[in-house]
Structure 1
Amino acid sequence: MTRGPTLPAHRLPYPSGFSGGATIPALPGQTRVPPSSGRLAGFNAATADEAHEALLGCLHSPRWAARLAAHRPYPDLDALLAAADEAAYDLTPAELAEALAGETLPTLPAGTYSAAHTALSAAHAAYEARFGHVFVIHLGGTAPGEALDRTLEGIRSRLTNDPDEERVVTADELRRLARGRLVTHLRGAGNGA
C-alpha cells in the first residue's frame, strides 16, 4: 500500500536502549472544573492564536482547534469537552487523516525489554500497512505496566476490522485522546498522548 501525501511514515519514538516513561492521561470520574479555575479562565482569556495553538496540542486538526477557540468562553470543563466532542464528530475524512498524520506512536514504559519493542514495531507496521495511518488508542486509566499489553491487544484486534469500520474506531479513539489531553492540559499535568 502506498502512502498518501498527508500520511507520512511514522517512526517509533524510542531507540534501542529507550529509557523514557509512558505518558497516559487519566480521565478522572468527575471532570468539572469550577468557572473560577485558573487554567480554564486562562484558556478562555487567551488570544485566539494562543488558544488555537494549545488546542492543536490536543488534536492536530486546525478546523477542530479553530472551532473550539472561536466558541470561548466555556463556563466549565464539561462544556468544553462537549464542544470538543461535537467538533470531532464533524471532522471530514480528510481532516481526520490530517489529525492522524500529526499523531506519534505511544512510548513504552522504562525498562521494557527489547522483544516488546520488536513486537510493538511489527504490530504498528502491520497496522499501517493495512490502514495507511498510525495506530491510535486512548489509554486513559491504564496502569503504565499494562500500556504495552493494551496497545498490542488493541492493534491485533483492530487489524481484523475492515477499513470502514476501522475509520469509525480510529475517529472515536482520536476524540477520546483529545478529551484526555484537554483534561490533562487544563488540570496542569502536562500533555498526554
Structure 2
Amino acid sequence: MPVPAQTCGAPDPLERFNTAPADTAVQSLLTCLHSRRWARRIAAHRPYPDLPALLAAADEASYDLTPGDLKEALAAEALPPLPEDTYAVAHTALSAAHAAYEARFGQAFVICLDGLPVAETLDHVLEDIRSRLANDPEEERLVAAEQLRRLARGRLTGMLGRGAVPSAAPPRGATRS
C-alpha cells in the first residue's frame, strides 16, 4: 500500500499557533486582546482544529471577562487613527468626547470599526462615543466588553490570515513586546 504524499511546506498559521510554546501563544494573543487571563485561557485549550473553533473559544473567553480583565484590556487600547486629511476641528471634537467618556467611566473608549469605510470613521466614532455617554456604568461595561470581543475576533482572524503567528523560536536578538 503506498504511503500518502506529505507536504514539505511551512506549517499554516493555525498549526504554528497550535504548536508554539505557551508563552509565545500567549504573547501573540495579547496583541489581539490585552487580558492575560483571556490569553492564557485560549492558549491552554490548544490545539484548535480550525479557525472557527479558535474564534468560538475566544468569544467564550471574552464573555467571561471580569471587571479587572476588562480594565486590563481597555488600558492597552487606543482610539482608532483618523484619516490623514481629517481637520483639526475634528481632532478637537474627538479629543473632547474621549475626555468626557474617560471622566464618566474611568476607562478608555473602545470601538470596533471592522468593515467600516475609512471616510465614515470619524462620524461613526463621534456618534458612538456621544451615545454611549448616556449609558450607566454597568451597561457601558457590557458594551465595552462586546466591542473588545469584536476587536479580538477581528485581530485573531487577521493575525492568522497574515500568518503573523510567531514561530516557536524567535530569531536571535529578536524581542517581543
Q: Normalising TM by the smaller chain, what interval?
A: 0.7 to 0.9
**TM-score when normalising by structure 2:** 0.84
Residue 68 of structure 1 aligns with an amino acid whose one-letter code is: I
Q: The residue matched to 2:157 in structure 1 has which SS? A: helix
Aligned with residue 149 of structure 1, among 123, 131, 144: 123
How many angstroms does 1:151 deviate by? 0.5
How many angstroms does 1:189 deviate by? 8.1
Aligned with residue 42 of structure 2, among 53, 68, 83: 68
Change (3 A) 1:143 1:37: farther
Return structure 1 stretches of 4+ with deviation > 2 angstroms.
Answer: none
Distance 2:142 2:11 in 1: 34
Residue 180 of structure 1 aligns with an amino acid whose one-letter code is: G
- Cα shift readout 1:85-116 (whole Å, capped 9, x = no counterpart): 11111111111111111111211111111111
Residue 123 of structure 1 aligns with an amino acid whose one-letter code is: A
User: Given the alignment of the two structures, is residue 101 of structure 1 paired with residue 61 of structure 2, yes or no?
Assistant: no
Distance 1:142 1:37 in 2: 32
Distance 1:143 1:95 in 2: 30
Corresponding residue number in structure 2 for 1:185:
159
Identical amino acids, percent of aligned pairs: 66
User: Given the alignment of the two structures, is residue 83 of structure 1 paired with residue 57 of structure 2, yes or no?
Assistant: yes
Distance 1:41 1:162 in 2: 43
Answer whether contact 2:13 2:163 (CA < 8 A) is retained: no
How many angstroms does 1:37 deviate by? 7.1
**TM-score when normalising by structure 1:** 0.77
Corresponding residue number in structure 2 for 1:132:
106
Q: The residue matched to 1:142 in structure 2 has which SS? A: coil
Residue 116 of structure 1 aligns with an amino acid whose one-letter code is: A
Corresponding residue number in structure 2 for 1:7:
none
Residue 32 of structure 2 aligns with an amino acid whose one-letter code is: C
How many angstroms does 1:130 deviate by? 0.5
Residue 124 of structure 1 aligns with an amino acid whose one-letter code is: H
Distance 2:57 2:36 in 1: 15
Answer whether contact 2:110 2:144 (CA < 8 A) is retained: yes
Change (3 A) 1:154 1:37: farther
Gaps of 5+ in 1: 1-35
Answer whether contact 2:112 2:151 (CA < 8 A) is retained: yes
Aligned with residue 51 of structure 1, among 14, 21, 25: 25
Q: The residue matched to 1:74 in structure 2 has which SS? A: coil
- Cα shift readout 1:102-153 (whole Å, capped 9, x = no counterpart): 1112111111111110011001001101000010011111011111111111
Answer whether contact 2:38 2:65 (CA < 8 A) is retained: yes
Distance 1:178 1:68 in 2: 12
Q: The residue matched to 1:148 in structure 2 has which SS? A: helix
Residue 15 of structure 2 aligns with an amino acid whose one-letter code is: A
Question: Which structure has the larger Rg over C-alpha atoms?
Answer: 2
